[in-house]
Chain A
Amino acid sequence: MLHGSLLSGAVAMLLLSGAAWADTLADVAGRYAIAPSSAISFSVGQVGGGGISGKFPKFSGTIELDPGNIGRSRVTFTLAPGSVTTGEARVEKFLRSDAVFDAAAYPSITFRSIRVTQLDSSTAAIDGILAARGKSRQERFTATLVKYDGRNVTFHVVGDVLRSPYGMDVGTPIYSNVVKFDMIVQGRKF
């Protein structure tokens, strides 16, 4: 009994200290290539609840975290909309078609950061230009550092993107105009 409580006390101490010593954005500064192990997940809500969710398995990009000044960091990201998966072949065909991505004519969607703003020790807002289907617009994503092992870094990145500015608002208002991105972005130092 006594042993048990001593032990759990020690575990709690460890966990607390772990949290206190968590890496900050400055600690993980460096240049990273976005790894294929990342998960670029999105969802679009529908009227009455539920919706469509899926992933883009084909993508590439870089993260450059400036050691002296997080604000001077840069992110570039490219994904292949044609690679979209949703678990339903007809939905994927529709998304690739000229009704939505028009992946044949516009095979990539790109994001290029223009400003990175540190929000707290492990979180930053990334403003950048998203280019999709021939249209460009400024969007914001929020990245939170979740893991770092000296070589590999993991961020949880979220952001809401409107479909209408890109001419992809087919199906509204049955399907929301808002695409919610909820991504795990893993970088490998290079």
Chain B
Amino acid sequence: MWRNTDESYGWVTILFHWAIAILFLCQIPLGYLTQATENRPALQFELYQWHKSIGFLVLALAVPRLIWVLLTVKPRPLPKTTRLEAIAARTAHLVLLLLTVLVPLAGWAVASASPLRIPSYVFNLVVIPPLPFTPSERQEIFWSNVHAVLAYGGGMIALVHILAALRHHILLRDATLIRMLRPHRD
């Protein structure tokens, strides 16, 4: 039930997947809005705090999830999966797994490199210290670009990933998506 088997994803994998997927997908428009609200500074400030808080939550989930994925078995590919499809899916999953860690890390780097030194006060509950950077505008811009490229790149890969899942469900009518919704009952 909780662990994966050869046939089925367990609840740990499923809950990690959907919690991180939903938060990650919300973070992209939220991150975009922090850039689009330049002329509404009070709103922009609030959006930044939500963006940083949710981002740290993603990081807090993505790190144990990465460890979990590396330690646990994966269900076998469904019958009729071609070798190429299996490799493409594996690669996309690996890249997405890494990006759910790297994108918030890069965001943390932006906040740490910024001369504004705005504290990261996650959900107004915990102060996360900055990474040990010497703040400078150059560093901030660099990490901001890294963060944006990784985030939008991740969004694009996620889009392909979602379309692939829908293709399996709607066109191929196989159990790929169902497997990620609930564990198989033996």
Q: Is the CB of B121 within 8 A of A174?
A: yes
| Residue numbers in A under 8 Å from B49 (CB-CB) | 174
What is the minimal beta-carbon distance from B51 to any residue of chain A, in angstroms? 14
A174 CA / B124 CA spacing, docked (Å): 7
Q: Is the CB of A99 within 8 A of B41?
A: yes
A50 CA / B119 CA spacing, docked (Å): 10
B10-53 CB contact bits vs A (8 Å, 1 = yes)? 00000000000000000000000000000001100100010000
A51 CA / B176 CA spacing, docked (Å): 51
What is the minimal beta-carbon distance from B180 to any residue of chain A, in angstroms? 37
**A85 sits at the interface (CB 8 A):** no
**B86 sits at the interface (CB 8 A):** no
Chain A residue nearest in CB terms to B118: A174
| Residue numbers in A under 8 Å from B117 (CB-CB) | 50
**A104 sits at the interface (CB 8 A):** no
Q: Is the CB of B129 within 8 A of A170?
A: no
What interface size band does chain A fall in?
10 to 19
What is the minimal beta-carbon distance from B56 to any residue of chain A, in angstroms? 14
**B115 sits at the interface (CB 8 A):** yes
Chain A residue nearest in CB terms to B129: A48
Q: Is the CB of A88 within 8 A of B116?
A: yes
| Residue numbers in B under 8 Å from A174 (CB-CB) | 49, 118-119, 121, 124
Q: Is the CB of A98 within 8 A of B41?
A: yes
| Residue numbers in B under 8 Å from A93 (CB-CB) | 41
What interface size band does chain B fall in?
10 to 19
| Residue numbers in A under 8 Å from B45 (CB-CB) | 94, 99, 170-171
What is the minimal beta-carbon distance from B156 to any residue of chain A, in angstroms? 30
B102-131 CB contact bits vs A (8 Å, 1 = yes)? 000000000000011111010010010100
What is the minimal beta-carbon distance from B47 to any residue of chain A, in angstroms? 12
| Residue numbers in A under 8 Å from B119 (CB-CB) | 46-48, 174
Q: Is the CB of A47 within 8 A of B121?
A: yes
**A91 sits at the interface (CB 8 A):** yes
Question: For window 151-177 of chain A, which residues contact chain B by CB distance below 8 Å?
Answer: 170-171, 173-174
Known: A99-B45, A174-B119. 17 other contacts (CB 8 A): A47-B119, A47-B127, A48-B121, A48-B127, A48-B129, A50-B117, A88-B115, A90-B116, A93-B41, A97-B41, A98-B41, A170-B45, A171-B45, A173-B121, A173-B124, A174-B49, A174-B124
Instruction: List B residues at the A interface (Cβ < 8 Å).
Output: 41-42, 45, 49, 115-119, 121, 124, 127, 129
Instruction: List A residues at the B interface (Cβ < 8 Å).
Output: 46-48, 50, 88, 90-91, 93-94, 97-99, 170-171, 173-174
- The 3 A-B residue pairs with the shortest CB-CB distance, nearest first, are A99-B42, A99-B41, A48-B127
